[in-house]
Structure 1
Amino acid sequence: MSFVRPKKNLGQHFLTDQNIARKIVDSLGTGVSDVLEIGPGMGVLTQYLLHRSELNVHVVEIDRESVEYLKHNFSDLKHIWSEDFLKSDISSKFKGEFSVIGNFPYNISSQIFFRILAMRNQVPEVVGMVQKEVAERIASKHGTKVYGILSVLLQAFYDIEYLFTVSEGVFNPPPKVKSAVIRLTRNKVTELPCSEELFVKVVKSAFNLRRKMLRNSLKEICESLPEEYAQKRPEQLSVADFVDLTCKIENIENR
């Protein structure tokens, strides 16, 4: 089967290496039958998903040329949605849980993960190929320079695994940076012991001024920050620390 890049790139680099494609699909677990592929393009991952008889494959693709190609070349693919994943109500299309997989466009990969986070109770597993730096950021632990907003918010609800690095030469067109494949597996946290809205606000405010101590970056949220956190910088706090800090801020504000 021939995989031809559509005329509209849409910020995506299309995988051409069949071994890498097979390896990505093999990284997806077998716990859930419904799987959604985001941005299948010419179907290089789709073909291997369809080989797995236990999977009920759905794809969402914004590019109409790619949609037409998929319709004409994959007769076994019954669920093709010609939509923008970031704008469509994907969760309503599934009655229960569904896994997510894809070679995510570099320019919207963070937005994709935020959307998945909003649907986390329906999405127990994600396997995605993204820019290597983004993968490292998502998987990083506290105390590192790349630890940030995505790290904390995703790790609050998912266990993250950095699976493998992918070189530039296996794409058309070749990107200027390396890629990586990561796997997110839903953890047992169903609800935070604090306001989730405040938690997100605390995390974003802290990292938006990451060089400042928390007493300065969070002063608009809480004027009298708990002493054990006041002189720390955001990268020093684990996910559990951010949850604890949010709980304490919530208690202070409710006095």
Structure 2
Amino acid sequence: MKQVRPKKNLGQHFLTDLSIAKSIADTVDVCPSLPVLEVGPGMGVLTQYLVEKPREVRVVEIDRESVAYLHEHFPKLANNIIGEDFLHMDLEGLFGGGQFVLTGNYPYDISSQIFFKMLDNKDLIPCCTGMIQREVALRMASAPGNKNYGILSVLIQAWYDVEYLFTVDENVFNPPPKVKSAVIRMTRNSVTDLGCDWQLFRRVVKTVFNQRRKMLRVSLRQLLSADSVSPGFFDRELMTCRPEQLSVAQFVELTNLVSWQLKTSD
């Protein structure tokens, strides 16, 4: 079978450098023995190194042409090639309800959605690795006070330790993307209880970063009207900060303040 034609509508950029592919595959070794799910294997440049490891490997691929290619070139994976959209998969029963490592050369246009799905299944995914757009990787790994620090930074770092491993140039892909890529690794931290309502936490983080240049006392008015809050609520020192200045712990504190205020104003 001839090689798969990269499809622009699927955001396909096939990695051609085998040494980089092996390096990406080796990032899963931080979580030994766990099975691996690879998202978007394409023609299997990463898969070929994953299957050498002493663990179960499954791949999920939405492109029918790639699925056919994988069946032809990886016959031993036949029962573990899933021709579905990862974003719509039920991950609960994938490995009998057990934990697994998530990895892949992720399509740029849906990488954030992939990581939001990871967060929704964080108890199943103690480790996530792979290659994404460099700009997104920088955001995910960024610390407070950095211009790259944003929604993804806070939400992911609440549950995962993020490592920016290395940068990948454009010229090792077919077709070459217009931006650089980066390989990241996320491993679950020790947090089991965030200390606040997770859904409200997400809502607060997204709300204030949508007006990231404004102080919290301004952006939070999207959630809390001035005439319904307790006296002095917006006078706290925390309210003079901008969102990129807050650590995850401070966002937890802020979420609890907002939660208390929402309950008292009902």
User: TM-score when scaled to structure 2?
Assistant: 0.91
1:191 corresponds to: 193
Shift of 1:71: 0.5
Describe the shift of the 1:221–1:55 C-alpha distance in structure 2 as closer, same or farther (beyond 3 A).
same
2:260 corresponds to: 251
- Show the counterpart of 1:8: 7
8 Å Cα contact 1:32-1:97 kept in structure 2: no
Q: Tell me how far apart the structure 2 counterparts of residues 76 and 91 of structure 1 sit (CA, whole Å).
A: 24
Q: CA deviation at 1:253?
A: 2.8
Counterpart AA for 2:149: Y
Q: 1:57-68 alignment to 2 at 5 Å?
A: 57-68=57-68
| Moved beyond 6 Å, runs of 4+ | none
Which deviates further from its counterpart, 212-221 or 165-174?
A: 212-221
Distance 1:226 1:99, change over 3 A: farther
How far apart, in 2, do the equivalents of 1:144 and 1:240 lie? 17
Quick check: 1:180 aligned with 2:189? no
Which of 208, 230, 241 is matched with 1:232 structurally? 241
Alignment root-mean-square deviation, CA:
1.5
Contact 1:5-1:172 within 8 A present in 2 as well: no
Q: What is the TM-score when the length of structure 1 is the normalising length?
A: 0.95
Counterpart of 1:64, as a letter, is R
Other-structure match for 2:210: 208
* Residue 166 (structure 1) aligns with: 168
8 Å CA contact 2:4–2:65 kept in 1: the answer is no
> Which position in structure 1 is the counterpart of 2:75?
75
Partner of 1:109: 111
Query: Which structure 1 residue ranges, 5 or more long, are not aligned?
Result: none
Equivalent residue for 1:217, pick from 216, 219, 224: 219
Q: Deviations over 1:187-243 (max 9, x none)?
A: 111222111111001000000011111111111323434602211100010111101
Measured after TM superposition, the shift of residue 4 of structure 1 is 2.7
**Pair 1:161–1:3, CA change in 2 (3 A):** farther
SS class of match (2:190): coil
CA offset at residue 3 of structure 1? 8.4
Native 8 Å contact 1:142 1:236 kept in 2? yes
Structure holding more helix per residue: 2
Q: Is the 8 A contact 1:32 1:99 kept in 2?
A: no
The alignment status of 1:85 with 2:86, answered yes or no, reads: yes
Q: 1:17-28 alignment to 2 at 5 Å?
A: 17-28=17-28
Matches within 5 A, 1:106-145: 106-145=108-147
Tell me which residue corresponds to 1:150. Answer: 152
5+ long unaligned stretches in structure 2: 227-232
Q: How many pairs does the alignment contain?
A: 253
Residues 38-65 of structure 1 show CA distances to partners (whole Å, capped at 9, x for unaligned) of 000000000000111x210000000000
172 and 116 in structure 1: CA distance in 2 versus 1, 3 angstrom threshold: same
Is 1:225–1:249's contact at 8 Å kept on the other side of the alignment?
Answer: no
Residue 125 of structure 1 contacts residue 184 of structure 1 at CA under 8 Å; is this kept in 2?
Answer: yes
Distance of 1:113 and 1:33 partners within structure 2 = 19
How far did residue 248 of structure 1 move? 2.0
Q: 2: distance between equivalents of 1:236 and 1:3?
A: 52
Query: Identical aligned pairs, as a percentage?
Result: 56
